[in-house]
Amino acid sequence: MAAETATAGLRTFWSGTITFGLVSVPISLFAATRTRGTALRLVDKNGAPVERRYVCSKDGKELDWDDIVRGYEVKKGTFVIVTDEELEAIEPRKTREIDLRTFVPVDQIDPKYFDSAYFLVPSAATNKAYRLLAHVMEKNQRAGIATFVMRAKEYVVAIIAENGILRAETLRFADELRSAEDLELPKPAKPKRAAETKFERAIASRSGKLDLRVFLDDYAERLEKLVEKKQRAHRDVVRVAAGEAAPESEGGEVIDLMAALRQSLGSGRKPARRSSARKKTAKKR
């Protein structure tokens, strides 16, 4: 079964081919993380959503999109205007390949370089090359380092194999990271042995196996319960006046990505579905 069918209903961020030497592995990228739907929107006291408008800071005049251009600030208050055509001319060359340039030990990659995570799903009818690449990389604990272009931006990416599945971690560029020296902290002094032993015992008493599932977003849970309680009590519930457009939640089914990926790799299991509320994306001006 092709991955496109198994992951129908999930948004593909990018599709292309992993290449190195004469090997080509067609894949699609799917986000490995999701944002919980607990964000608050700005509305007026009558419940009408607040719109974002662009206003000139000089005369307070409201601007249409056609009145707005992009500027690069070279110094305070001085901008160089850059046109869309000029930006398009310097965009990185569009390609559908993730060219693995080198393979490095996974533990050599400092976690602070990790930015966004994606699952790589085989997008061809056969996934033998995908399976073999994932197996060999995981067996030898190697990550493939490559660059690729997505949405007119070039990324450095680490391809990592885990449990037979390939994952892409986009990496921050070296000049995006701050150095500890920037903090100008005093040099650490050598601690006394008694104090060191006390801390070692305290750490040992709390040592265990990592399980991030026990760490929950308590604020999101409390916010959802607060909203449910006020809604049941019909307290502070406001509705948009007739004729006003407002985003409404709609029921839908979301396919579990991991189950779909296992199916595409030949496990034979059907993708698990679970109910979820989807919010319509607010139309941008």
The CATH code of the domain that includes 159 is: 2.40.290.10
pLDDT of residue 277: 39
pLDDT of residue 261: 58
pLDDT of residue 6: 45
pLDDT of residue 57: 87
Kindly state whether residue 73 falls inside one of the protein's structural domains. Answer: no
Pick from 33, 42, 35, 32: which is nearest to 220 by CA?
35
Q: How far apart are CA 25 and CA 11, in angstroms?
A: 20
pLDDT of residue 284: 42
Q: How far apart are CA 107 and CA 138, in angstroms?
A: 12
Kindly state whether residue 25 falls inside one of the protein's structural domains. Answer: yes
pLDDT of residue 107: 94
Residue 137 burial (C-beta neighbours within 10 Å; 0-12, 13-18, 19+): buried
Q: How far apart are CA 118 and CA 166, in angstroms?
A: 9
* Residue 149, number of CB atoms within 10 A of its CB: 18
pLDDT of residue 120: 92
The domain total for the chain is: 1
Phi, psi of 167 (to 5 degrees): -125, 140
Tokens encoding 134: 């994932």
Kindly state whether residue 167 falls inside one of the protein's structural domains. Answer: yes
- What residues make up the domain containing 29? 3-35+89-179
Low-confidence ranges of the chain (pLDDT < 70): 1-10, 37, 124-126, 240-285
Kindly state whether residue 163 falls inside one of the protein's structural domains. Answer: yes
pLDDT of residue 250: 40
pLDDT of residue 1: 37
pLDDT of residue 138: 95
Kindly state whether residue 282 falls inside one of the protein's structural domains. Answer: no
Residue type, 127: N
Tokens encoding 278: 């989807």
pLDDT of residue 253: 41
Total-model pTM: 0.67
